Structure 1
Amino acid sequence: MTYNLFTLSFTGEWEHLEPEFIKSHFRESLTRIRVAVLIAMFFYSIFGFLDAMIVPDQKLMFWAIRYAVICPIALWVLWFSFRPGFETYAQPCLFFMCLSGGLGIELMVILADPPASYSYYAGIILIFITSYTFIRMRFLWAVACSWLIVAGYEIGAIWIADTPRIMLINNNFFFVSANILCMLAGYSMELNTRKRFFSGFKLEQEKNKVNRINRELDQRVKERTLALSTANEQLTKEIRDRISSEKSRIKLEKELNRKHRLEAIGTLAGGIAHDFNNILAAVIGYSELSLASLDKSSDEYANTKEILQAGMRAKDLIRQILTFSRQGERKTEPVQLGKVVTEALKLIRASIPAGIDILQDIKSTALIIGDEGELHRIVMNLCTNAYHAMENEKGTIEVRVEDTMLDQEILQAGEPMAPGNYVILTVGDTGQGMTPDIVEKIFDPFFTTKSVDHGTGMGLSVVHGIVKQYNGTIRVYSEPGQGTTFVIYLPMAHTDTGPDPEEVFTPPPGTERIMVVDDEETLVHMVQKYLSSLGYTVKEFNNSLEAVAYFSDHPDEFDLILTDFNMPGLTGLELSEKIQGIRKDIPIVLCTGYSKNITWEKLRSVGIRTFLMKPVTQYALSTTLRDILDHG
């Protein structure tokens, strides 16, 4: 644990814990603060009896200070502690309350006649104890409060009140010593509190790590146990009845093959994405370069156009696989729901038995605002539920997408919808159906009527959550033996699709100087050719270490850095960090074929302005670079 010796704030790699510590300290201290304020106010009040005994002639003035000024301030702090804004202003409020209490005592010292005034300094020591140890004021605030009180006492005792020197020295000796001792106590208490917080943080990290390992081990044990159990069952059935055993074995193999296919997509998607997208980047990039230099009426132009279109189809295929395996970034944008449904049904078709027919009726080309990956999950979850409802692996799943306009509010099943244009997604099946009491519970997390190996009960809960995020409504119609139909209403986006921007695209030119870094020599040359054709001055490197060394010697020679992510030597993030260490204002754009571990937090921490997913089209590359160079 690293911290500032004076302020006790977390520093270095643990600096990000400081805001969380402040919140945790407030949550733990709130009740104690309220109790401490009450107790402090009580003791501050009962000392009024002391005023009556020591300074009877001035007791009314002293009581006015105690009961008309200081106690109302404490009551206000106590009242404010129950308000939402107290978390933000808790420390300033406590600081003001303690400072007011200390200054109130000092005012009494000034107003009291000797020798009574000589003894009131002891009350300041109680204020020190309260500030540092009792009322949960953080160390820095307590230090500022106590030394301001000390300064106030010195001013009052020396310049205002006629305090004998020996008495001034005596009083200073006691309460300055007390202040220093309280400082040490407050320092120690907050340091121990921070150490406990840090230990708890580290313990939570280790706990999460242990839980993850335990889950992995439990999963492995379950898989091994399931495999052994299945094998034993197969042997027992084979001994008892060879025909029954053979049927069970075939059914099990089909199910395992289906699971293996789905697992293979998720496992291999991330592994092949980077290399395959690099290949596609070269195919698409050089195709676009060739098209720019060919006569549109020539056979070569038509052939190259076919190559480019094939490359874009391959790019879409990779995107679909990454979306299915949940490797894509969440991005809310106008999406054509019908297109997403069509793509999802292609994947679901391969994972369900051939005896189940899928009837597809896509009548809508309208757009909605959403994330393509989440919409993909909605379709996959609903279709998977429909398949599991088919007891004999035979039946029909009907999927429709259509537009509708609601001209008045419709209230049904407690779900109001505002008038307007909607896109409707309907998924129906001819399965076993559900009773009304089950329909009421299907959106509850972990509720399921399936066997253990068919789901966790989270699928429909996730679907319901996504639909609500999009301001949509989901309705269920089901009867036992009559199947189930899910109807989802999603608000239509008010977006004019217009022409495809890449079809009418004219690349914006530029004259800036760009460094291109990629370990794939083919891609470096392709990007260099394209950017040079637009007027940019391009310096290419296929070795990240050499690129950093060159930039270190020529930091002002470039206006932008374009770098790959996965490279030997230095990754794109490491290269960006070193570049930023040399020149802070240089914009950096990251290209990657695989974005599983990339977050905006990581990118911003090393100075990266944006990132592009490979394969990058000329449209995306040129407009992104132009936008970064023009607007930062």
Structure 2
Amino acid sequence: MGGSGSASAPLALHRHRPSGGLLMIGVAALAVVTVFACWILLGGAPLAGAIVALLLAGAFAAGAAAGRPDKTERVEVTDWSLLRDVMSDGLDPLAITDRAGVLLGANPAYRALFGSALHPSNLPFSVEDMARLTEAARAAMREGRVEVHNLLLDDGPAIAILRRAGRRDDHLAWRFRRAGARNPYGVARALLDGRSGERLGDAGVMLVLADPDGTIVAANDVFAYRALGERKEKVAGQNLADLLRTSEDGAVRIARDGDDVPQLRVIPVPVGDDAAHGPAVFLLLDEDPEAISVAAARGAATVHLHGLLAMLPLGLALLERDGRFLFMNDAFRRAARIGPGEVAVYPSDLVLEEDKPIVSDAVRRFAAGRALPGDLAIQLKHLPEEPVALTIANAKGLGDAAVLLSLKDDSEESKLKRQIAQATKMQAVGQLAGGVAHDFNNILTAIMGHCDLMLMRHTPGDIDYDDIQQIKHNSNRAASLTRQLLAFSRQQTLRPQILQLPDVISEVSNLLRRLLGETVKLEVKHGRNLGLVRADPGQLEQVIVNLAVNGRDAMPNGGTLTLQTLPVTAAEVRRMRSEILPVADYTALRVSDTGTGIPPDIIGKIFEPFFTTKEVGKGTGLGLSTVYGIVKQTDGWIFAESELGRGTTFVIYLPIHHAAAELPTPAAQARVEAPSETWGTGTILLVEDEAMVRAVAERALTRQGYTVLTATNGEEALELLENGDAPDLLISDVVMPTMDGPTLVRAARAKFPDLPILFMSGYAEEQLRKSIDIDRVAFLPKPFSVHQLAQAARDVLLAQAG
């Protein structure tokens, strides 16, 4: 087998010792010379004969020793199996590699086809074909024999047969065969698609293989980029005549080129026997020799440019002079919401109808170089709910491109903006609710107080009794609306107690059965070993009622509403791997319904204020936002899960309260639960800037037996305190003009340190306690009834006396 110097090495794989016969002949010749010398020097035949005998004996001994193999050195034998593998099928291109992949030899057919220096792992195949060969080599070493079909050479398809070889199966034989007879059409296509087409393209030669009707079958990259701005895979199926244009003087140019580009020389080369009507390879050459190198450089630069833009995370696209897309990277497709099978020809195809003229006009101006870079606020047709920014710039110096577009995928940024807007909206509504609560609650206090006073003079059956009750009922509804506004903004006044969650559910169960109606079944399940929680029982009842009503409305045809309490340990929370819920021990309340469920695009909005899916007039949109506010103000957490057609589940996690010392004593519970007496005696100083509230409060306290002194502001109250004795109780509004309630109380306490204080306010008690650093004060939230005012005054006086 012929080849390079390394190719002959494997045919003599083993080293041999010199044979014993050769050694004996050499010794005999040396003996003859020695005898002749001894005959002359010693002058006698007997002595010379003795010496010859000794030499011959040594020679025979050495020959015998040389004929025996050395016990300490391994005798190697030529690998005839490997030699047979190499020599078989010598007409096909054949090469041998060892287990490490080193090329050991190749036959003349292999060297004639690929060159003696080409390793089987670096043959002139496409990247895909080389990957198949590499995988086949690994498989052949495992399985013994593998064939790879449809390898494309410049002059036709081929088959590679890879087989383990050698006595120890540690070599690999690579044999290549032609796949059938060569046909000119296959040779021509292989020429364009193979390395030859790439080399001609690097030199600026455009190659096109077209059918008799002019449909392009294959082309090299230079023609594809110059004619379409795409890779060669995209040009197949186009008509060659549509990509060229002929001027009046007969000059042929690429349709996308301008008149300043040199004309082309088109050389048709027929493929096959039918030179007139068969397929042909067209060579397109620029008439200007310098233009060939320019075109080659431009084509190479375009390939590199597109590769660079494809790597960037920004959404970038290039447009040609007429506004068509020349290139767009994956980030641009994602930002523009272009699907895998969707094709966009112009940028205006991506936007809503009303934005199409704006985008088209901007692209034309930038293509003509008459505009400065800037942004356009547009709405994508696949994302019409929010505008996006389309950046447009001139693309001079970027090959065939005329306009550069940039579109950012800001879906995550938009999501964050919506969340910030939602938080800002809730904060704004909360501030609004807190701001109007004071004045609104003053009005409600006056209305409710006057109703109570009128009811004291009217008994059931009187002509005005029902009307007064209706006014009071509507006033209570208005007060409830205010509490809801304060609840979702987490500014309502809570009166937390240490309680068991099942007790709250038991209190509200009868009400729930009436609210749910006959078609909805209520199931209550309680877990064991539930921990105590610290919450306002009234507010918790409101949470349960609101969730139950929402569940009822989601089951118009009936269903089951389940209330379940269960303990949740810190270990269980840890296993949830929640990024929101802190690791702690909780008592949980699960409210589940079997209703219609909540769509995924809506479930994230259900806790927003004023958001409702109900018909107009059938919901305020404050129910779930109130629930959320109460739960969060109680230091709890609420989560919603829903499946369309299966129902919705709300889970509330309330932290377990471990301070047993704060448990209410039986005596305290009895004192709270027992009906209290509201009559009393003593002097009360009432400070209120609202005349209607002051009048109601004065009449209510006077009817309970108290002596009432009134003042319209803090300064007037201080004058009464300085000119008289200490009252038994000071009742004051918090927010007043001139001097507010806390300033008044500090001045009064300076003179009367033990003076009992009862603040009344339309603002939240928690917010007031944070801003008022005064000890031993009680709060009465507005609006309040006559009975609640009298009860609060008596409780403060009893606490002072006790």
**Category of TM-score, reference length = shorter chain:** 0.3 to 0.5
TM-score between the two structures when normalised by the length of structure 2: 0.33
TM-score with structure 1 length normalisation?
0.41
Q: When you count helix as a share of all residues, which structure comes out higher?
A: 1
Higher relative contact order structure (alpha carbons within 8 Å, sequence separation ≥ 6): 1
Q: Rg: which structure is higher? A: 2
More strand per residue: 1 or 2?
2
